[in-house]
Amino acid sequence: MFGLSPLSVALLSAIVTGTSAAILAWRERPEAGATWLTVLLVGQVWWTAFLVFELEAPTLAAKSLWYDVQWLGVVIIPVGWLLFALEYTGRDRYVTPRYVAALLVVPVVTLVVVATGDPWGLVVTDREVAATAVGSFLRVETGAWYYVVAGYTYLLGVFGSIPILQLVRDDARPFRGQSAALLVGTAAPWASSVLYLTGTFPVAGLDPTPLAFAVSGVAYLLALSRFRLLTLAPAPRRRARQLVFENLHDPAFVIGTEGYVIDLNQSAAERFGIDRRAAIGEEADAVVPRYDEVSAADSDRSPLSVVGSRGRRPYEVTVRCISDGHGRPTGEVVVFHDVGEYLGQQQRLDVLNRVFRHDVRTETNLIYGYADLLREDPTDEHALAVVKQSAARILDLSERTRTASELFNPMSEASPPVPLDVLVDEAVGTLRTEFPDANVSVEGDVPGVQVPAVLRVVAESLCSNAVRHNDSEPPSVWLSVAAEDGWVDLSVADDGPGIDDAEREVLKRGTETPLEHGSGLGLWIVKWGVDQVGGNVSFADREPRGTVVTVSVPIRDDEGGGEGADDAGGSEDRGDADAGR
């Protein structure tokens, strides 16, 4: 063909396929691996094209020139292969300027030696023209650095093939096809190079590696077109799995088979106050909260109470074993699920169920019973008064239920903090309007601080309870407020009969039973509201008669802070004698 040697004609096929594959890869930028695959293919085309120039050159000097130019393609191919493999499989954290510069040290040294004429004979010690039936090429005697380059090439080739080999057994068929095509495209030049270095290639002194690039080009074209090499790369999948672990809302730890911490996500570090760098490599018992109480075999364990940045919270712990491709255990993943909100919601549902099942039914039965008496005697004032009182209690329960529902509705927007003095004035004003006969007073000055808006509902419920369950004539209620060390203590005292010890115990325990339950929703709303902002509530007897209920909540001077689980971090700083978590 146009006077070309048979070998040059054969090499043209490698140039055509390699160029086609390089163009397809370049067009796929910025897909993962596209740039480095293009570099690899350009290196192959460069080497092959200038080998054709070498074959067709008429003199030793001309052949030596084109031989030296080929080194640019020779040394860039293994670098392009390794960086492509890393980026393509999602290991792009290693594809940084620092690592790329380190990989280019050997290629740069090689090019400098060749460009300076190799005066020390490091790459080539002797050259001669070899005329054969397939063409006239340059036969060389190689120096020591030549074998350094060869070893470096094979080393990078092996490292780049490892992540590709892992995809051969992948569950996804496209990834298996892609990896197979890539390995074929890489193995063909390797095999040819081995034949050359061992002297077993039929044409002595001829490096057949560029001929194998024809096979590589076909394999890469197949991978790019048939298996969508760059448009369906596994890199996002690997990154996505890393992101899922890293951004998982629940704290998660990875523990090795020897009981050492291998990894932990950001949530675990923040929630439990752990230094990630210092924790990796430490014993799990010293890092993972209550690790000695969890195991993969124990699937029926109660929630564990753990102190963290949100205070003391209940966590359900899930342990999953990690196995390799042969089913051998390599570690375990320990995940902490915060079930505090779930348990709180369940508690509220249980209480509301009790209210509707017991309290409302009791009042309804009274109405039914006294309605029969009124049917017989419409003028029975006592029966009429009982019916009105029962109806009023049902209406009150309905209103309190609505308040509780709105207070803990996760879809409602967080309310901004409110001034404490305004809140106290509102609570006192509402109480005096609803119970005009009651004596209501505020002791001392009210600090000018901001508090969570939920304290408004808590204060109104405390004041209302202090009068509703007060048998004194007239009932008296005293409010006092103190602020110290970032906390507000709101106390509501009364001169009534006091709160039964059994009801205090129910609040402290946090659960009701058919035989032990609260008398209504009032104190539950107080407890739920205070728990919501990480505060606490305590009870004390008042002399000579009555009860003092004190709620402690954190001061909120920020303008946009609302209530939520994240505010629960301070509950461990204040004691709670009677109704803590």
Indicate whether 92 pLDDT > 90.
no
Average pLDDT over residues 428-432: 89
Answer positive or negative: Cα dihedral of 256, 259, 262, 268: positive
Determine, yes or no, domain membership for 241. Answer: no
Look at the pTM and tell me if it is higher than 0.75.
no
Determine, yes or no, domain membership for 45. Answer: yes
Span 503-538, pLDDT tens digits: 766 666 555 544 344 455 677 778 877 877 778 888
Span 457-514, pLDDT tens digits: 888 888 888 888 888 888 999 999 998 888 999 999 999 888 877 676 666 655 554 4
Average pLDDT over residues 386-407: 73
Q: Between vectors from CA 242 to CA 311 and to CA 331, what angle results, nearest 5°?
A: 75
- Strand segments (E) across 281-310: 304-308
Both 180 and 297 in one domain: the answer is no
Average pLDDT over residues 424-444: 89
* CA-closest candidate to residue 325, choices 219, 170, 181: 170
pLDDT at residue number 563:
43
Kindly give the residue spans of alpha helices, DSSP state H, lying in 172-300.
173-197, 209-225, 235-246, 266-272, 276-279, 284-287
Determine, yes or no, domain membership for 472. Answer: yes
Helix (H) or strand (E) holding 479: strand 476-484
Determine, yes or no, domain membership for 61. Answer: yes
Q: What is the CATH number of the domain that holds 561?
A: 3.30.565.10
Residue finishing a domain among 315, 338, 361: 338
Indicate whether 2 pLDDT > 60.
no
Single-letter residue type at 505 = E
Q: What is the CATH number of the domain that holds 107?
A: 1.20.1070.10
pLDDT at residue number 517:
43
Determine, yes or no, domain membership for 255. Answer: yes
Judging by beta carbons within 10 Å of its beta carbon (0-12, 13-18, 19+), is residue 78 exposed, middle or buried? buried
Both 81 and 154 in one domain: the answer is yes
Residue 163 per-residue DSSP state: H
Both 444 and 467 in one domain: the answer is yes
Both 507 and 434 in one domain: the answer is yes
Place of tokens 């990796």: 280
Q: Between vectors from CA 466 to CA 464 and to CA 468, what angle results, nearest 5°?
A: 65
Span 29-54, pLDDT tens digits: 888 888 999 999 999 999 999 999 98
Domain assignment of residue 333, given as a range: 247-338
Q: What is the CATH number of the domain that holds 394?
A: 1.10.287
Q: Between vectors from CA 111 to CA 5 and to CA 15, what angle results, nearest 5°?
A: 35
Both 130 and 197 in one domain: the answer is yes
pLDDT at residue number 570:
38
- Give the SS3 label for residue 484: strand
CA distance to 162, 286, 289, 316, per residue, from 305 (Å): 44, 17, 10, 9
Single-letter residue type at 521 = L
Both 553 and 573 in one domain: the answer is yes
Both 421 and 450 in one domain: the answer is yes
Mean pLDDT for all residues in the chain: 81
Residue finishing a domain among 235, 258, 287: 235
Determine, yes or no, domain membership for 242. Answer: no
Average pLDDT over residues 314-332: 83
Residue finishing a domain among 338, 361, 384: 338
Determine, yes or no, domain membership for 98. Answer: yes
Both 228 and 357 in one domain: the answer is no
Number of structural domains in the chain: 4
- How many secondary structure helices (H) and strands (E) does the chain include? 19, 14
Which of the pair, 6 or 287, is modelled with greater confidence?
Answer: 287
Both 299 and 447 in one domain: the answer is no
Average pLDDT over residues 162-189: 78
Both 396 and 430 in one domain: the answer is no
Indicate whether 305 pLDDT > 50.
yes
Question: Residues, the chain, total?
Answer: 581
pLDDT at residue number 45:
94
Q: What is the CATH number of the domain that holds 274?
A: 3.30.450.20
Both 309 and 344 in one domain: the answer is no
DSSP calls for 334-353:
EEEEE-HHHHHHHHHHHHHH
Across the strands, what pairs with 336?
317
Determine, yes or no, domain membership for 445. Answer: yes
Both 453 and 377 in one domain: the answer is no
- Spell 62-75 as b/e; 16+ CB within 10 A means b: ebbebbbbbbbbbb
